[in-house]
Amino acid sequence: MQKDLSNYRKSYEKSELAENSIKENPLEQFQKWFYEVEATDGLEEVNAMTVSTIGVDGFPKNRVVLMKKYTHEGFIFYTNYESEKGKAIENNPSVCLSFFWPNLERQVIIKGKAEKIAENLSDGYFESRPMGSQLGAIVSDQSSIITSREALEKKLHDLEKAYEGKQPERPSYWGGYLVRPVSLEFWQGRPNRLHDRIRYTLQEDFNWKIERLQP
């Protein structure tokens, strides 16, 4: 089985990324791009990002999650701390986040260190979720093997009965991570594959070094 994809080509011509138009702080540049992508049709989940970790088995693994907040400190997402992802982060907190926004031919690649956020912040977000999402977080032993879909749905059905008329509390094994960036690369597609790549790197004095990379 094979399929030749050598003729899959596209010319990127929607925008450019120049040093005289970027922000000095990469978090401000991220916010600028995020707003622009959000305001442009053609993408349903602007906050979808790929989280890459190094697993306890030594292999890298990527998965798409939803960013739920970004601040001057970094980027926040929520997960099961006992999942494959959570165990990988506990073993090695160095992670990579990436956003792909094809509607504006843009990528952002972020290297950083992941740390658990304060429990009260995880509590607050958990309480804001719909009941179904709350129970879903409780019922799933994320990344563990289960015999069938029916077995999982039965677990949820039993949990719905147990919590009928009650407000679920956030389980201790579920919560948020903050990724504090040490490097952010902004990639803008350009014609002839001569893409714009601007990288911000955090320095020891906490200022950001800005460099242009070759495509």
Cα–Cα distance for residue pair 80/168, rounded to 1 Å: 16
Cα–Cα distance for residue pair 100/33, rounded to 1 Å: 11
Give buried/exposed letters for 165-199 (b at 16+ CB in 10 A, else e). eeebebeeebbbbbbebebbbbbbbbeeeebbbbb
- Which residue among 193, 197, 199, 212 is the active-site one? 193
Burial class (CB in 10 A: 0-12, 13-18, 19+), 64: exposed
Q: List the structure tokens of 25.
A: 């702080």
Provide φ and ψ at 161, rounded to 5°: -65, -45
Residue 106 bears catalytic tag: no
* Angle between helices 149-162 and 131-139 in degrees, nearest 10: 120
Q: What is the largest CA-CA distance in the chain?
A: 60
- So which residues are the catalytic ones? 193
